[in-house]
Amino acid sequence: MSRADPARVLLDAVIAFYRAQDRTDDASGTMLDEVCSELAAAAPLPATPRAIPAAALLMEALPRTIFGAAIAQAAHLFTWRQNPNYTAANMGAAFMAGYGYAEFAGPKEALFHAQGVRVGLLLLGPHLHYPAHAHPAEEIYHPLTRGGLWRRGQEDWRTVPAGRAIHHPPMIVHETRAAESTLLALYCWRGNTSTEAMLSG
């Protein structure tokens, strides 16, 4: 693996991962094709590294993670963020200490500029519950670690194998629970990428 441009190596790994995904589901397959086109044309942005407390959980989880080596090489460049709609008052201090995301591509604070999509890494610390929320962007999650639980709408909670797609149409309510270890998941948004998720209920 080249050390000269770890951000580009990571982006290429994400594109290769998306291109290798099963296209049986027409909705998610079409979305991933469009996301790959955006990522292939994305231009690098100046690095603006920023850490938050949850970022300390990343390295422990990476040995269990799909393309963990590429993530590890680029991790020092990540601009870690939290949804501004989430605070200790409405999510709890423990959640805020163990939750964060870093974007590989997107319209702002990302490694690469992509106006129409957001692609990044969700981190959720052990035993944390990311409660029911929704957003106008269409979304696909791919868990990169094992053991998490996922729920969409009124469906039952389910485990999803690492690398398997979870498709969320716009505004569908969904939630996630980490198991005994840190959960990492790759996500991509398409459509309204400027409106952040809001809690439901």
Query: Which one-letter amino acid corresponds to residue 184?
Result: L
User: What is the structure's pLDDT at 1?
Assistant: 40
Q: What is the pLDDT of residue 139?
A: 97
Listed in sequence order, the residues at least 6 apart from 63 whose beta carbon sits closer than 8 Å to its beta carbon are none
Kindly report the average pLDDT of the chain as a whole number.
Answer: 95
Residue 89 placed within a domain: yes
Confidence of residue 22 (pLDDT cuts 50, 70, 90): confident
| 26 vs 45 pLDDT, higher one | 45
- Answer whether residue 76 shows pLDDT above 50: yes
Q: Residue 49 sits in a domain of what CATH number?
A: 2.60.120.10
Residue 59 has pLDDT above 80, yes or no: yes
Is residue 12 over pLDDT 80?
yes
pLDDT band for 23, please (50, 70, 90 cuts): confident
Task: Identify whether 141 is part of a domain.
Answer: yes
Q: Which tens digit of pLDDT belongs to each residue from 119-158?
A: 999 999 999 999 999 999 999 999 999 989 999 999 999 9
In a domain, 115, yes or no: yes
99 domain residue, yes or no: yes
Which pTM was predicted? 0.95
What range defines the domain where residue 71 resides?
6-199
pLDDT of 2 above 50: no
**What's the domain count of the chain?**
1
* Mean pLDDT on 167-193: 97
For 2-17, what is the mean pLDDT? 89
**Alpha-carbon distance 123 to 26, whole Å?**
28
Mean predicted confidence (pLDDT) in 175-192: 97
Q: Please report whether residue 1 resides in a domain.
A: no
- Residues 126, 11: Cα–Cα separation, whole Å: 27
